[in-house]
Structure formats: structure tokens, C-alpha cells
A and B are shown apart, each in its own frame.
Chain A
Amino acid sequence: NAGVTQTPKFQVLKTGQSMTLQCAQDMNHNSMYWYRQDPGMGLRLIYYSASEGTTDKGEVPNGYNVSRLNKREFSLRLESAAPSQTSVYFCASSEARQGNTEAFFGQGTRLTVV
């Protein structure tokens, strides 16, 4: 049981390049999330998808787009990368979006924009 799988694990981009971070979960969860983790700032929500076919902005959505491709997959796209987007990105999923639910996290994508 793989849980939440993110690809790639590491990436270096030049300013202005684009890329898509992939996330897939095999737990049949309805809700999926993208976070970024920066030193001293904890995790901040970028976008989430409460259920297949829906997406909504989180706390820090600027510069990102997402696609809920199907129930399993939720991708994050950087259209024109900026150094401020250097971060560790985590995908997570949960069975439901109620506040008391447990989320399962992927191992993260470490992105550097130069």
C-alpha cells in the first residue's frame, strides 16, 4: 500500500520555467491538498480539492494552478517559476474534508528555483 506518492522528489528550475508536480493516492480518498513548507513558517495550504471535480484556493495560491485529474490524482503546476517558489511541496489526502479527519502526506518534492 503506497499511500500518497509524489513525483519528482527533487527538481531544479530556472526562473520562468514551468513544471507540474504530480501526486497520486491509492486510499480511495475524496479530498486532496497541496501544501508548501518553508523554514520557520510551518505548512501553508496552496490549493485543495474537496472531491473529484472541484478545486479551491488555499492560503497561498498565487503563481500556482491545480488539476484534479481523477479521484486518485491531483497535480500542481507552476506556470512561470520564481525564486520565491523555492520550497518543499507536500501533497496530502483525506477520506473526507471534515475538520477532524486525518490526512496522509506524501514524502515531498524539494523544488529549487534559480
Chain B
Amino acid sequence: AQSVTQLGSHVSVSEGALVLLRCNYSSSAPPYLFWYVQYPNQGLQLLLKYTTGATLVKGINGFEAEFKKSETSFHLTKPSAHMSDAAEYFCAVSGANTGFQKLVFGTGTRLLVSP
């Protein structure tokens, strides 16, 4: 079984500051890990994913995440926040060799960016 914990339902940063959104997971199988972003009144859009291989994954819009097996973490970072990054971010996990229907989403973190 898989589960995801996102620490902090809201994160506030200033424009230009580092963005760090935390995600810890639990998985009984080697995990596949995803970050999705949801802009207001929109559906979810894939930011990045880790399946196998390199543990530092780069995504769209300057975001990246690092898979740390020893810490069961997959935190999302961006060096410099833009106003356009304000959105809700969801971490999700599925297990290797399981179907997409087994994907489990976290409860989301709303990123607020102030000028």
C-alpha cells in the first residue's frame, strides 16, 4: 500500500525566494513519485516524475525534486519563486508494477507568492 504526507497545507514565500514543498511517502514497492500542479479553476498538470534512474528530477517551469530513499522523501524545490507559481501542488505515489489506478495523492500544499 502507498501513502503520501505533504507537510504544510499552505506555504508562503516572497517573489525571488526559494520554494520548498515537502513530501514524504510510504510504499510497499519501489515507488513511482509525481508532483502535479493545479492552477486556479484548472485541472492538474504534471510537473515532474521519478520512476527509475537519476534521483534528481527536473521538471517544467524550473522546478526539480530529489528522490531520497533513505528519507522516504521527494521534496519539490525551485530556486526563485515567481508570482505565476502561485498554485496548489500535489505529491503522488504509486508502486512499481502497479496500475495507475493505485496512484495515491497527498492532500496538497497551496503556494502563496507575495511581491
Contact = CB atoms under 8 A, between A and B. Distances in A.
Contact of B100 (A41, A90, A98): A98
A4 B43 contact: yes
Interface in A17-43: 31, 33, 40-43
Nearest to B30: A99
B103 A99 contact: yes
B101 A33 contact: yes
Which of B44, B100, B103, B108 gathers most chain A CB within 10 Å? Answer: B100
Interface stretch (A63-71, A72-80, A105-113): A105-113
Contacts of B103: 45, 99, 103
B105 A42 contact: yes
Contact of A97 (B9, B96, B100, B108): B100
B55 interface: no
Interface in A51-107: 56, 58, 90, 92, 94, 96-107
Interface in B73-111: 90, 94-103, 105-108
B26 interface: no
Interface stretch (B14-22, B45-53, B64-72): B45-53
Shortest beta-carbon contacts, A-B, top 5 = A105-B43, A99-B94, A42-B105, A100-B51, A43-B105
Interface of A: 4, 31, 33, 40-45, 48, 50, 56, 58, 90, 92, 94, 96-108
5 contacts: A42-B107, A56-B101, A99-B100, A103-B44, A103-B103
